[in-house]
Amino acid sequence: MTHSPEALGISIVLAGEAGQGIQTIEQLLTKILKLDGYHVYATKEYMSRVRGGTNSISIRVASKPVQAPLQRIDLLVALDEKVLSHLQYRITEETIIVGDPEVLGAVPGILPVPLRQMASELGNEMYANTIALGLISGLLAVDAQVMEKYLSSRFADKGDDVVANNIKAAGLGYDRSWTLRESGEVRFSEIRKHEHSNEIMVNGSEAIAMGAIAGGCQCITSYPMTPGTGVITFMAQHQHDFNLVVEQAEDEIAAINMALGAWYAGARAMVTTSGGGFALMTEGVSLAGMLEMPVVIHLAQRPGPATGLPTRTEQGDLELALYAGHGEFPRIILAPESLQSAFAVSRQAFDLADRYQVPVIILSDQYLVDTYYNTAAFALDPRETLPSIVETTEEYQRYQFTPDGISPRGIPGRGLGLVGADSDEHDEAAHITEDLDLRVKMVDKRLRKLGRIKEELPAAGLEGHKDWRTIIISWGSVNPIVREAVAELNRNDVAQIAIQQVYPLPADLHQYLKKADRTIIVESNATSQMGNLILRETGHTFQHAILKYNGLPFTVEELVENLRQCLLA
Amino acid sequence: MTHSPEALGISIVLAGEAGQGIQTIEQLLTKILKLDGYHVYATKEYMSRVRGGTNSISIRVASKPVQAPLQRIDLLVALDEKVLSHLQYRITEETIIVGDPEVLGAVPGILPVPLRQMASELGNEMYANTIALGLISGLLAVDAQVMEKYLSSRFADKGDDVVANNIKAAGLGYDRSWTLRESGEVRFSEIRKHEHSNEIMVNGSEAIAMGAIAGGCQCITSYPMTPGTGVITFMAQHQHDFNLVVEQAEDEIAAINMALGAWYAGARAMVTTSGGGFALMTEGVSLAGMLEMPVVIHLAQRPGPATGLPTRTEQGDLELALYAGHGEFPRIILAPESLQSAFAVSRQAFDLADRYQVPVIILSDQYLVDTYYNTAAFALDPRETLPSIVETTEEYQRYQFTPDGISPRGIPGRGLGLVGADSDEHDEAAHITEDLDLRVKMVDKRLRKLGRIKEELPAAGLEGHKDWRTIIISWGSVNPIVREAVAELNRNDVAQIAIQQVYPLPADLHQYLKKADRTIIVESNATSQMGNLILRETGHTFQHAILKYNGLPFTVEELVENLRQCLLA
Amino acid sequence: MMHFDMEKIDIAWCPGCGNFGILNVLKRTLVDLKIRPQDLVLVSGIGQAAKTPHYIKANFFNGLHGRALPPATAIKAVNPELKVIVTSGDGDMYGEGGNHFIHAIRRNPDLTVIVHNNMVYGLTKGQASPTSQLGFVTPLQVDGVFEEPFNPLAVAVALNASFVARTSIHDLALTQKLFAQAIQHKGFALVDTFTPCVSFNKVNTRQWYQEHTYIVGDDYDPQDRNEAFKKAVEAEPWPLGVIYKSPAKASFEENLPVYKNNKQPLIDRRVQWEKLEALIESKKI
Amino acid sequence: MMHFDMEKIDIAWCPGCGNFGILNVLKRTLVDLKIRPQDLVLVSGIGQAAKTPHYIKANFFNGLHGRALPPATAIKAVNPELKVIVTSGDGDMYGEGGNHFIHAIRRNPDLTVIVHNNMVYGLTKGQASPTSQLGFVTPLQVDGVFEEPFNPLAVAVALNASFVARTSIHDLALTQKLFAQAIQHKGFALVDTFTPCVSFNKVNTRQWYQEHTYIVGDDYDPQDRNEAFKKAVEAEPWPLGVIYKSPAKASFEENLPVYKNNKQPLIDRRVQWEKLEALIESKKI
Ligand SMILES: Cc1ncc(C[n+]2csc(CCOP(=O)(O)OP(=O)(O)O)c2C)c(N)n1
Ligand SMILES: Cc1ncc(C[n+]2csc(CCOP(=O)(O)OP(=O)(O)O)c2C)c(N)n1
Ligand code: SF4
Ligand code: SF4
Ligand SMILES: [Mg+2]
Ligand SMILES: [Mg+2]
């Protein structure tokens, strides 16, 4: 394998029980690393419990921007002994394991750091985590001043003592790191630093929530469900600033029906949920189809069926999203791959929903919403996201027939007209009908919008050298991992199509697939749902499917390995 | 067109407002026709209201068994004037329209029969319907004794007067028919009579309900929803005889979760619903997948999206049935085409669910459940439908790994063991787990069952001459209509595959499609959902799709016409 | 009254159905209260009662069976200037929609909720509804209903609903009075309205309602919650009138932070670009 | 007590969580009542409380969030010989599961329903539950809860539930007494159980419960529905004990025609082939 620390950066993992404070180390560490000019990437895997168990945070520090997890661990900070078996498969001969011998016991190959004892000496065991932070910072050659400055500002509101103690604790760890480095016990390859103080660090949930706000979202109604909850939580925190109605519904059925009512009355609204909650919304999705009511649904996938693995990741709900709701009506499904596109797609979702009067589903997953890295500040220009609402006249008819099937959308109280919305088959004025010829016209009207959507959505595009013969396809959060793996392969004959527009699929997809000698699909599910969709839409069958469904994201190394095998076959 | 009354029989339509009594005429008439030795077929189309509007019942009387509706009307009994415009498109120059001039007014081309006046002369306007009945019976040359005998037995419990008056009324109509026939005003081709007193007449709902009882169904929990309600209503009526628990749930979510609880405790249970209700059940379908709990779901389709056309027919929920529920798990979907197969499939559904521990969906539609004709009495042999439940030992583990993925199913209270059911990812003992290797094994175990199902389900088979070059594919209730249309076409080069096993599709399908020069798909929906499924499963794209989605079933004549056009193309 | 009448429509109800009375009284009340059709939204689920919005010339949202309250709540939250009235059936509101009924009361949006309580499922042809009385025989409840009938008033009192009333359509004057009070009340106002289904409920007829109800006396104080509970559980005869009024409380919309300092409906507000820029900026560290 | 203990398990609750107390009291009660694990089914939805069935050695059905009551009802209907106990959370039972809560009470299946009421959503990290108190601040309810808290006891009394009790896990003896009574009661028996969530509810702590509750006196008569309602709406201090017992009524299973003349569980019955043959025969005319 070619993956060297030089190429891939350094892979650090913080692991321990829920409640032991790895999150504290993580939050401080990633910020300090970023401030110091490193490219930082972090993702987490955790159990569905509040205390105990084993959780881990994987951090990559690199000379170039990175957006994918590594399998290998270079530096493991183990806060309890269960961690070692939990992460066994990621630990190599070169992995440096740092831990407190008091906690871990006598594990061979461990670099013992008496964190607790050192903390006690400082007067409080709580500082063990800060010591660990200093230690890692030192091992990574972080500028001590940057570290101290950040700690000062971070703890400023806790008082001078806390600041001083934290700086002291971090310093203790930092000093220890020098001993280790100098003794030659720990040596990481050098990582270049950059000036990127203009970049931001947010996770997928935050990116989606901010994108929604930029998209004019004014109302979010949802029922808590991991990993969908992050979006509504973020919006709740910022509701005062952004004039948001944030309502925790009694169930997901209420949530989606509220969102439809909100759009009807003139607001832009969304819901956020996961597979089980979305399953409950499917009648409401069908209602959106019939009412031609815009609505934005964030569906953050986790492994199913049923309750499944609530805090893990999967791409197992694509088909559910595609076909949810009885009867036939158009929809749009978008699966952002990165923080930038999470923001952009989420913003765009509101415009698309409004423009075509269809449900738009943002299909993310636990991996995407819980991952963050430094990235360019989200661009806010152009600022126009005016809703396409018309002032009604007395003759206004909500479902007026039009060539492209899109009827001007009025709202109650704005104009002289009256605005209906009807879940039965209806006439142009939205009144219930049993005229079966009208029925056919209304079905055609609704479906016609899909033609328009297909015309207007962009092409997929292909990434790779012009001599490509193999195409690798993936979608959503898997794309950047494939991208890095393909870069690692470094072959002229391999190209990638990274789908983010799941439905309707980009029109140019078929043309590329037809030309390929070899096609490979990569998905985080067991039945290759995207492969099935592409087959259905283009008739194309993939030669290889690389599928992962143990609840964890792909890693770069395993994808490189899997792709190599496919390319050999 | 070749359709002659000789070939197709006589097409009679009774039409009027809801509440005017067309159902009474229908019920009496079809019984009498059957008793008299005719092959009788009847189907209804009605509006979503209790009174008013326009409903119609189409009856075919033929020399051979018929199972498909005709477009053409030979004899129209119009109980109100709205009927004429409502049925305009089915009325030809030859159509004989019988109606009361008092009610219809002076409509040109109508054969006026003063039904009301005649009834008043008998002392009660209520008898107008019986007079109409006699009239139609006479026009069809029904044996007057058969008619009278049936009326006597039918009204016996209402007292001698009612019997006498009904016979008198029917006689009046009957006599009038002779005048009409002798005057030459009405002349139908002769239809042969047969001895088939051993045959039964039930509609699709009743066939499914009886099949369920034969399949050992002991419990039905549902929330009323047209057109799914017929099945639970029939079972409610017969619950005392068959030891059934029949419970109207508070909503569809309760219904499916109750059914799962019932199977868990050892009963065979089902739910019946339509698209909107099924949409609400999808989280429960996913739960069935995770619990590996058998369950039988009758999904009677009606046009969507949302409330749509509640009393009409469509095949628009195939994709919903296929992909309902988040996450990945196997399921079986069966779409019966006839009363015989409605009974057989419904019975079989319980065995399949039990055997493979998966949800089995019976996909019918309003047309199928509301249609009836004379058919052989349902065969009850062999009588074995023993549930495959094991007595548990102390070591019992509900999700024990097995080569085919099917674990022996125990139930609580039967044996020394304990039986768990868990909606989280779980270990063999059904306990919640976050062991991600176990997760993969459990996914594989669940999906492995599909392989077994595919092996054991029968082939599709093809109907047609050995020289076929064109294949016409349809599914469910559309099959018999295609069958009759293909017979009408009478071409050696056309064959039919009538799918009733929707998922997994029959294994031999692809082999036929590959050999065909021309393939045509016929479906009652707007987007060719079966076509999409076949494309996804076999890579095959149909040259022609004949799609109907105005809420009415196909008719033989329109299919003949459509197919001819495809064959010319 | 003219402006709430539809032009030519074919009303899908059976002759003699109590829904006609409710429709007429409602239209008359709306005229009396000088409500503009443009400012009114009628919301319903699915059922015979739920067709009411199709027969009144106003804005309407005829959604899913059981799901009238969530969109109604949201409409009001998005534009508090609209008058929002829910007209739906007993099955819709207390059966399929039961969870929303509970939680909407807890939220207390400023809605008028008229439940056409015919103690049966009309549209689906006669099954028991949650309010069907013990022993009521139907095609599904062949031995008669044995489940404890749902008492919407008692439950609403238990949830401390802000306005709880019962009327019966045999008394048009009372019905109009209560509709008017409910519409003028700020907060969740329930008017459970007894109404005959002439096709599927042969027990609880217009006459039966007349004979089995009485109007609460002028001395009855709907502000006493314990008394209200006692009244709410009374049956045969059933009390009609305002059964309960909770101590004054803010409506859902009033509680929403978004309207605390600014009464503009959401539609009139735009994205706060500066604040969003600042928020993004704050993520640089 | 041994036979309800699991071998080696890793309980996913936080140290100090009230669920431990409920688990232990429940196991002890089951032993005292001499219930065989094989004859017991524990049913739950999803949440921290809903994990309880995984920690008791018995049959269990751990279904979907909010959906504990429908399968529990069906299990009892299919095999009335089983003892069925539901142990789930306040969000599960009164939020997502609210509609089943209402209608299960109406049906009155012979279930014991223990609601671990910690006034918060534990598993999803601290959002308000329907029973969260006014002003309770959470990551989602940033200005504090303003919706009227759901009062399960008052609603149960309004629905004429057959057995309605409240306990608090700070009082183990009372809890065991009430669990035992509820399990022995025939019909729907609700025990709303106050329990601290040490991670996400810093207001309603063990001590808070201790300080804000009292046990109803011996003179309190739970058979008087109006008195029960008064008691049920009392708060701060909250009454503990049996709040209401309805007049004796048949359970759901007893009402089912299938058990009227034959007590055999369904599993022991076979298809009535002769009757089916006769039914088919009857369709020949
Ligand atoms: C999800 C769903 N389930 C079931 C139905 C069928 N359905 C339509 S109306 C209705 C009940 C109507 O009863 P009610 O609300 O009392 O209204 P009524 O017709 O008596 O006025 C039912 C069950 C539906 N449309 N959608
Ligand atoms: C359909 C669905 N919606 C949401 C969730 C997420 N969820 C799991 S548990 C829970 C709430 C738990 O609260 P409660 O029932 O009070 O239990 P606790 O954890 O407090 O014991 C939620 C919202 C889910 N699993 N399924
Ligand atoms: S069925 Fe009943 S509720 Fe429906 S319109 Fe007729 S009388 Fe009214
Ligand atoms: S989060 Fe709360 S309810 Fe859950 S285990 Fe911890 S203390 Fe108990
Ligand atoms: Mg009703
Ligand atoms: Mg809770």
**3.90.1310.10, 3.40.190.10, 3.40.920.10, 3.40.50.300: which CATH number matches A2-188?**
3.40.920.10
pLDDT tens digits, C186-197? 999 999 999 999
Nearest-angstrom CA–CA distance, A255 and B19: 40
Residue of C12, C46, C130 with shortest CB distance to B52: C12
Contacts for B472 with CB less than 8 Å, ≥ 6 apart: B482, B486, B494, B495, B496, B497, B519, B520, B521, B522, B563
Determine contact, residues D139/D126, Cβ cutoff 8 Å: yes
Question: Which class would CATH give B462-568?
Answer: alpha beta
Q: Which residue has the higher pLDDT, A384 or C236?
A: C236
Half-sphere exposure of B225 (CA within 13 A, CB side): 35
Look at residues A248, A361, A251 and name the one whose alpha carbon lies nearest to residue A297. Answer: A361
Which secondary structure element, helix H or strand E, spans residue B437, and what is its range?
A: helix B436-456
* Residues facing A511 on adjacent strands: none
Nearest-angstrom CA–CA distance, B563 and A215: 49
- CB contacts of B535 in chain A (<8 Å) are 535-536, 539
DSSP character for D110?
S
Q: What is the mean pLDDT of residues C239-268?
A: 96
| pLDDT band at residue A108 using 50, 70 and 90 as cut-offs | confident
* Residues facing C44 on adjacent strands: C62
String of b and e for D176-203 (b: at least 16 CB within 10 Å)? bbbbbbbbebebbbbbbbbbbbbbbbee
Ligand 1 center from residue C47 Cα (angstroms)? 4
- CB contacts of B424 in chain A (<8 Å) are 48, 306-310
- Ligand index nearest the alpha carbon of residue D197: 4
String of b and e for A337-346 (b: at least 16 CB within 10 Å)? bbbbbbbbbb
Q: How many other CB atoms sit within 10 Å of the CB of residue C282?
A: 10
Distances in Å between the Cα of B462 and the Cα atoms of B499, B516, B547 are: 10, 12, 21
CB contact under 8 A, C102 and D154: no
**Cβ-count burial of C166 within 10 angstroms (0-12 exposed, 13-18 middle, 19+ buried)?**
buried
Contacts for B62 with CB less than 8 Å, ≥ 6 apart: B8, B9, B10, B38, B39, B41, B191
Sign of the CA dihedral D147, D151, D154, D158?
Answer: positive
Determine contact, residues B560/B488, Cβ cutoff 8 Å: yes
Residue D244 φ then ψ, to 5°: -150, 140
Domains of chain D, earliest start first: 2-251 (3.40.50.970)
pLDDT tens digits, A17-40? 988 888 989 999 999 999 999 999
Ligand 1 center from residue C123 Cα (angstroms)? 6
Q: Which amino acid is at D180?
A: A
Ligand 3 pocket (Cβ < 6 Å) reads B 50; C 13-14, 17, 19, 48, 118, 122, 197-200
Residue nearest to atom 4 of ligand 3 (CA): C122
Fold match flag (B2-188 vs B202-376): no
The set of chains that have 3 or more CB pairs under 8 A with B is: A, C, D
Torsion of CA A23, A24, A29, A35, to 10 degrees: 110
CA of A32: which chain C residue's CA is closest?
C285
pLDDT (0 to 100) of residue B2? 43
Choose the mutation target among D52, D55, D138, D140 for the interface with A, i.e. most A CBs under 10 Å. Answer: D140
Residue of C95, C225, C257 with shortest CB distance to D143: C257
Q: How many other CB atoms sit within 10 Å of the CB of residue B27?
A: 14
Determine contact, residues A95/A119, Cβ cutoff 8 Å: no
Look at residues B538, B529, B532, B473 and name the one whose alpha carbon lies nearest to residue B511. Answer: B538
Residue of C48, C65, C127 with shortest CB distance to B248: C127
Determine contact, residues B488/B395, Cβ cutoff 8 Å: no
Q: 143-162 in D: which are within 8 Å (CB) of C?
A: 143, 146-151, 154-155, 157-160
Q: What is the mean pLDDT of residues C255-261?
A: 96
Determine contact, residues A417/A410, Cβ cutoff 8 Å: yes
pLDDT (0 to 100) of residue A181? 86
CA of D66: which chain C residue's CA is closest?
C99
Determine contact, residues B131/B124, Cβ cutoff 8 Å: no
Question: Which class would CATH give B202-376?
Answer: alpha beta
Look at residues C160, A236, A205 and name the one whose alpha carbon lies nearest to residue D144. Answer: A236
pLDDT (0 to 100) of residue A6? 66
Q: Examine the pLDDT at A3 and tell me if it is beyond 70.
A: no
- Ligand index nearest the alpha carbon of residue C125: 3
Nearest-angstrom CA–CA distance, B20 and B80: 9
pLDDT (0 to 100) of residue A381? 84
Q: Peptide bond preceding A382: is omega within 30 degrees of 0, i.e. cis?
A: yes
CB contact under 8 A, A50 and D122: yes
DSSP character for B460?
-
pLDDT (0 to 100) of residue A1? 38
Determine contact, residues A540/B535, Cβ cutoff 8 Å: no
Contacts for B10 with CB less than 8 Å, ≥ 6 apart: B60, B61, B62, B74, B75, B140, B188, B189, B191
* Residues facing A59 on adjacent strands: A12, A42
Nearest-angstrom CA–CA distance, C242 and C165: 4
Residue of D96, D146, D257 with shortest CB distance to C255: D146
Q: How many other CB atoms sit within 10 Å of the CB of residue B192?
A: 10
Determine contact, residues B261/B177, Cβ cutoff 8 Å: no
Contacts for B497 with CB less than 8 Å, ≥ 6 apart: B460, B461, B462, B463, B471, B472, B473, B509, B512
Ligand 4 center from residue A343 Cα (angstroms)? 33
- What is the distance of C-alpha B66 from the center of its chain? 15
Residue spans per domain, chain B = 2-188, 202-376, 389-457, 462-568
- What is the distance of C-alpha C225 from the center of its chain? 21
Look at residues A398, A400, A504 and name the one whose alpha carbon lies nearest to residue A452. Answer: A504
Q: Examine the pLDDT at A2 and tell me if it is beyond 50.
A: no
Choose the mutation target among D107, D148, D256 for the interface with C, i.e. most C CBs under 10 Å. Answer: D148
Q: Is C250 on the interface with D (CB under 8 A)?
A: yes
The stretches in chain D having pLDDT less than 70 are 1-2
Nearest-angstrom CA–CA distance, A354 and A263: 9
The stretches in chain B having pLDDT less than 50 are 1-3
Sequence-distant contacts of B192-195: CB under 8 A, at least 24 apart: B192/B63, B193/B36, B193/B37, B193/B38, B194/B37, B194/B38, B194/B39, B194/B63, B195/B37
Nearest-angstrom CA–CA distance, B50 and B115: 24
pLDDT (0 to 100) of residue C285? 84
- CB contacts of D200 in chain A (<8 Å) are 50
Q: Which amino acid is at B102?
A: E
Nearest-angstrom CA–CA distance, B431 and B442: 12
Look at residues B28, B239, B259 and name the one whose alpha carbon lies nearest to residue D261. Answer: B239
pLDDT tens digits, C109-154? 999 999 999 999 999 999 999 999 999 999 999 999 999 999 999 9
Q: How many other CB atoms sit within 10 Å of the CB of residue A447?
A: 16
Determine contact, residues B88/B109, Cβ cutoff 8 Å: no
pLDDT (0 to 100) of residue B1? 38
Choose the mutation target among D100, D106, D137, D153 for the interface with C, i.e. most C CBs under 10 Å. Answer: D106
Ligand 5 center from residue A296 Cα (angstroms)? 33
Contacts for D260 with CB less than 8 Å, ≥ 6 apart: none
DSSP character for D121?
B
CB contact under 8 A, B218 and D71: no
pLDDT (0 to 100) of residue B4? 56
pLDDT tens digits, B109-132? 788 899 989 999 888 888 899 999
Q: Is A387 on the interface with C (CB under 8 A)?
A: yes
Nearest-angstrom CA–CA distance, A510 and A514: 6
- CB contacts of D96 in chain C (<8 Å) are 99
